[in-house]
Chains A and B, each alone.
Chain A
Amino acid sequence: MARKRGRGMAACWYGIARTATVDRAAAWAEIDDGGSAKIVTGVTEIGEGILTVLAQIAAHEIGVKPEHVVIGDNDTARAPEAAHAGASRQTYMIGNVVALASREARKRLVDVMAGMWDVAAETIRTGNGEIWAENTNHRISMGEAVACAKNRGVVPIGSATFGTDTTAIADGKDGDGSGRPWQAYVFGCQVAEVEVDTVTGEVQVLAVWAAHDVGRAVNPQGVEGQIEGGIVQAIGQGLMEDYQLKDGHASTSGFAKYILPTSLDVPRVNSIIIEDPDPIGPLGVKGIGEPAMVPTIPAVMNAIYDAVGVRVFNLPATPEKILLAMREKARRETMATQAAE
């Protein structure tokens, strides 16, 4: 058989938000005229879907529809600090702080309505663009409630800050690395199924099953998108991508020479989302952007070994390397047989 299949697996762990330092973020929220919500925080989409996640979180906390949430621009002169778009921190840091700011804005509105309706604030519910008091006939739209608040001189706004309880690690000269680098950890495991062409050395990753803890999935489709994208980037690194320098000069300075995964290189990704809520943040969310990429390469290398009995220690596992390793393996085996004879 020219093509051989195999399977491999690998696990991973990862820390969420900035490493070994105190992370923090802030946000402002306003329940606006007409019952929409306005969120201002230092965040812009880098593709991960954060704007949608924040809209869902604000909608959930305030009780409006996600399409009625407007998110302001990320601008150091116009928005509170939310710091960087990286470290798998956006849903955790900004998501949690938007929830807190939204809660405060909602509380302002609820307090006004509780006074107007003469009910306890705890009996007031919001959702789907409406506000009502339990076991009463009081029910109006959020837009009407905002108008009520404004007639009483109240603009329903909130603000919040969210910081981590983390420390540096002891990484000085005689340090042992001890410390509390993160407050939220995630774990994951992936299985890869590959097919190796024993004539060309080419590896196809046919499927990956990816199980990842994300704390709580705000938007499962977005989580899958992160897992699928991360796995394919890892396959790029594992099998084909290679930035090469000769005496400091790049020989792979365009996409013609720098090979990237295309639609024909990608596996079927089967995502399994695990929700082990973070006990510290108000939402239970964690993160997924980076951890999704970590187990893929070893899972694929373990699968290649399972298929053809060669292990690639030096990435990427190009067809040439696989063939060379297979030839080397065959040579060793022949020698062993001859020696035995």
Chain B
Amino acid sequence: MVDVRLNATINGRKVSRDAKPHLRLLDFLRDDLNLTGNKEGCGAGECGTCSVFVDGVLMKSCLMPVAKAQGAQIDTIESLAKSGELSVLQKAFHKAGASQCGYCIPGMVMAATAALRANPFADREEIKERLGGNICRCTGYQKIFDAVELARDVQNGRVPATALLETDTADGEVIGKNVRRIDAPSKVSGRLKYAGDMTMPGMLHVQVLRSPHAHARIVSIDTSAALAIAGVESVITSADVPGKDGFGVFVHDQPIMARGKVRYVGEAIAAVAAEDALTAKRAVAAIKVVYEQLAPVFDPDEAMLQGAPVVHDYAPDNITKHIPIRVGDVEAGFAESDLVIEESYSTQAIEHAYLEPEAGLAYVDHDDVVTVVSPSQNITHHRHMLARIIDKPISKVRFIMSPVGGGFGGKEDMIYQGMLALLAMKAMRPVRLVYTREESIISTAKRHPSRTTLRMGVMRDGRIKALAMRMVCDGGAYGLSTEGVMRKAAILAAGPYNIPNVRIDTYGIYTNNTPSGAFRSFGALQTQFATESQLDIIAERLGLDPFEIRRINAMRDGATTHTKQTLGSVSLMRALDAAEQASGWEAGAPTVRGGTRGDLGHDDVRPSVTLGTRFAATGTQEAAE
């Protein structure tokens, strides 16, 4: 296909350039013009971080073919602070603490700019609706709304511009003050370079071949046709690993590419480095793999049965980790109890959905140091593992942590850095890999789905006598953080309560599903969901207020935990009091009293929304006003 000649005005400058016709406007801006401020979060029009102005209209540049920009006036995030001075809105984002990882922020700033242009007096609810096409995974949006409201008020002269300035620390007191985030200016302006924004001279582009099967033996891999393609520099498989293969936070059970067999759909099998991503993609398609199907196992309870398919030879029972906690005698505790309640709970797998998909750069430097630049949440551990895998001393392995566009535990695993290092060593050129959103979702860790049975025995006065919990979690195909997740889940399972008899068992199980790994709140979310739900069920039965039953059982200063650790100060009672008071909680047993409560709808509660009413019925609403 022939290139298109694109004439456009970009950030106020005339641009006349040839562009590959398959490019999206986003690629053209980022790759050809090096305007990397706007990011790619999904490539599908769903997240908004790629949003730019096309002839003044907010557009998702990942959805726009470059040829459509012919003759247009394009403004990217870089246009807002061209002189170096941030716009009022950018300053407001800085002041309000509206950026966290920052990856969504260029798009948010563009959308917010559009919102205030459309209606300089937009109220909070309208601002929310106008930002509805932009996803932020970090902030919970609240500080973003605060920022837009602040900018609106400054622009309208309702608030002085000094409200945007740094918090005063002239008294010398720095701790406890809302000092503005030092990384925010680089984020609100799009200047911060994430790994996927970085390039190096001579850099190759990497693509990965992934397994279409959940459980299969690899009979053969033929890379010759891929290597024969012009522009392909290197192809690697597990056969290229020079050292002892295997990574994982606890057990090193995962090869950097499938070795001998594949254990889940999406597992890496081979990787290609080529002059451009398209060539690398074609080379990946030219790799021939012969598989022999193996019986898969997808259900963790089934995986625990005798005779179930075995995912890893070292664990014939498919148990990655079992964690027990034992205190007292639970059976005696239940026998003594006035009321025993047993329920079952389950939680689903969820995706971290950090807005920044995995990306990384690797090169071998002048001192033969294999260097990997990536948004890794644990470069210390990664370098230990990589040194062993590539058989080099630690001093010859270097990890640099690039700004992380959201992690939440999902970037703790060395999922792709090993492939990058190997390719850089083989090609002796810099290599870069940027995942698509789909690749990120199917091939990286999830939160452990769980099934929990919880039995609790209580006395009529609300004292918990005994607690028995069994949780089975689907750890998926590889160990990653499963062992640690099971441990934290178990230690915290019974909640911050004094319980004389406790029996907890958590099991992380291998299956042929997408691996589960570290995820913010690391197992404690699953177990405490069950315990805290059950406390309300019991409170209803006993006619106790939910705060009351927790206070009756609350650990106090000097309490002994379920792992028999003696605590010092315990702030639980303060937390209960504070939440109860702040919410103006009306005391009473949890007996479906929503309809009669007197504490609802305070002014620190947001109005409920009826989706789309404002935009669908703008005319009628205006008429009504």
Contact = CB atoms under 8 A, between A and B. Distances in A.
Interface of A: 3-15, 19-20, 42, 44-49, 51-52, 55-57, 59-60, 63, 65-67, 69, 71, 73-77, 81-87, 127-128, 169, 171, 175-181, 185-191, 193, 195, 204, 206-207, 209-213, 216-222, 224-225, 227-234, 236-237, 241-245, 247-250, 252-256, 258, 260, 262-264, 266-270, 272, 274, 276, 279, 283, 289-291, 293-295, 297-299, 301-303, 305-309, 311, 313-316
Interface string B533-557: 1011100000000110010001100
Contacts, number: 488
B241 interface: no
Nearest to B326: A176
A122 B369 CA distance: 46
Contacts of A258: 351, 353, 441
Given A85-B377, A306-B593, 11 more contacts: A6-B593, A171-B324, A177-B562, A177-B563, A206-B605, A211-B578, A229-B138, A248-B213, A298-B532, A298-B536, A313-B345
B196 interface: no
Contacts of A179: 563-565
Nearest to A99: B175
A293 B520 contact: yes
A236 B135 CA distance: 12
A7 B138 CA distance: 25
A169 B487 contact: yes
B118 to A, nearest CB: 15
Contact of A234 (B138, B525, B599): B525
B239 interface: no
B312 interface: no
Contacts of A5: 594, 597, 600-601
A187 B590 contact: no
Given A7-B599, A250-B265, A82 B380 contact: yes
Contact of B520 (A233, A241, A266, A270): A233
Interface stretch (B40-48, B71-79, B217-225): B40-48
15 contacts: A6-B594, A9-B547, A15-B492, A46-B377, A77-B369, A177-B323, A187-B575, A213-B574, A231-B140, A244-B349, A254-B42, A262-B134, A269-B140, A302-B546, A308-B592
A45 B101 contact: yes
Contacts of A185: 567, 570
B528 A12 contact: yes
Is chain B's interface secondary structure helix, strand, loop, or mixed overall? Answer: loop
B571 A302 contact: no
Contacts of A13: 492, 495-496, 555, 572
Contact of B325 (A9, A176, A293, A303): A176
B139 interface: yes
Interface string B128-142: 110111110111111
B582 interface: yes
Is chain A's interface secondary structure helix, strand, loop, or mixed overall? Answer: mixed
Contact of A52 (B140, B183, B398, B401): B183
Interface string B85-113: 00000000000110011100000000000
B442 interface: yes
A302 B532 contact: yes
B53 interface: no
Interface residues of B, number: 164
Closest 6 CB pairs of A and B: A47-B101, A248-B214, A6-B594, A228-B140, A298-B532, A127-B172
Interface in B461-497: 484, 487-488, 490-492, 495-496
Interface stretch (B4-12, B15-23, B271-279, B405-413): B405-413
A257 B575 CA distance: 38
Contact of B141 (A46, A82, A232, A295): A232
B157 interface: no
A224 B139 CA distance: 9
A230 B139 CA distance: 8
B345 A15 contact: no
A60 B446 CA distance: 39
A24 to B, nearest CB: 10
B351 A241 contact: yes
A216 B211 CA distance: 48
Nearest to A193: B605
A302 B533 CA distance: 7
A63 B344 CA distance: 55
Given A8-B536, A60-B174, A83-B380, A52 B181 contact: yes
Given A11-B575, A263-B128, A248 B583 contact: no
A9 B345 CA distance: 18
Given A60-B174, A248-B214, A294-B521, A191 B101 contact: no
Contacts of B379: 42, 74-76
Interface string B360-394: 00000000010100010111110100000000000
B400 interface: yes
A185 B568 CA distance: 9
Given A228-B142, A232-B141, A298-B529, A249 B441 contact: no
Nearest to B437: A254
Interface stretch (B280-288, B420-428, B510-518): B510-518
Contact of A6 (B141, B568, B578, B597): B597
A11 B174 contact: no
A154 to B, nearest CB: 24
Given A44-B404, A67-B182, A204-B608, A255 B487 contact: no
A309 B536 CA distance: 12
Given A65-B169, A177-B325, A191 B580 contact: yes
B618 interface: no
A253 to B, nearest CB: 5
Contact of A266 (B134, B142, B296): B142
Contact of A46 (B407, B547, B570): B407
B170 interface: yes
B576 interface: yes
Contact of A178 (B100, B144, B564, B578): B564
B400 A225 contact: no
B346 interface: yes
A264 B613 CA distance: 12
Contact of A177 (B177, B324, B401): B324
B354 to A, nearest CB: 9
B48 to A, nearest CB: 10
Contacts of A7: 583, 585, 594, 597, 599-600
